[in-house]
Amino acid sequence: MDDRLNRLMSLSYREVPAQEANRAIAEAREEAAACGAAAARPLRDDRTAPAMSRSYELVLDEQGGWDRFAAQALPRLIYHLESVGARPPMCKGMVVAVFVGDRLHFLRAGALVQLAAELTGVSIDELFRRHGTGELRSAPGGPPLALPPVGKG
């Protein structure tokens, strides 16, 4: 595997056989929610259902190398993170589940984005500018726009 991909995978805080993906991803979401990650769904009124954080799953093609990851997987991840409001630096505790061969690795989205930015040689802000949703994060500058006159009806 490419050295840069190895560095990304070194961020993995948990690894399981890929055949255990459903259970392991559910557990990772619950753990992230328990640690204060933003919940993907709120608690029900009766407070019996746990809040679940979000996860993003991707398949890492070892043969495709870093260039394929940086050109395809990373832009999609960045777009998804911004579209669900998981912005840097922590990306609201989002969990990224990466399938590599017959193994599933779990990474924290904020750490992955930070290292990916370093490895691509651009800032995190630039990654989100290039691959995000394009929505403004704050009000546009300049003078306020005048409202049109109210017509008589």
pLDDT per residue as tens digits for the range 74-95? 999 999 999 888 888 888 778 9
Report in angstroms the alpha-carbon separations of 29 from 14, 53, 99, 108, 132. 13, 5, 16, 11, 23
- Residue 56 — φ and ψ, nearest 5°? -130, 125
Q: Using one digit for the tens of pLDDT, what is the confidence trace for 9-50? A: 999 999 999 999 999 999 998 888 776 555 555 555 555 555
Confidence grade of residue 113 (pLDDT, cut at 50, 70, 90): very high
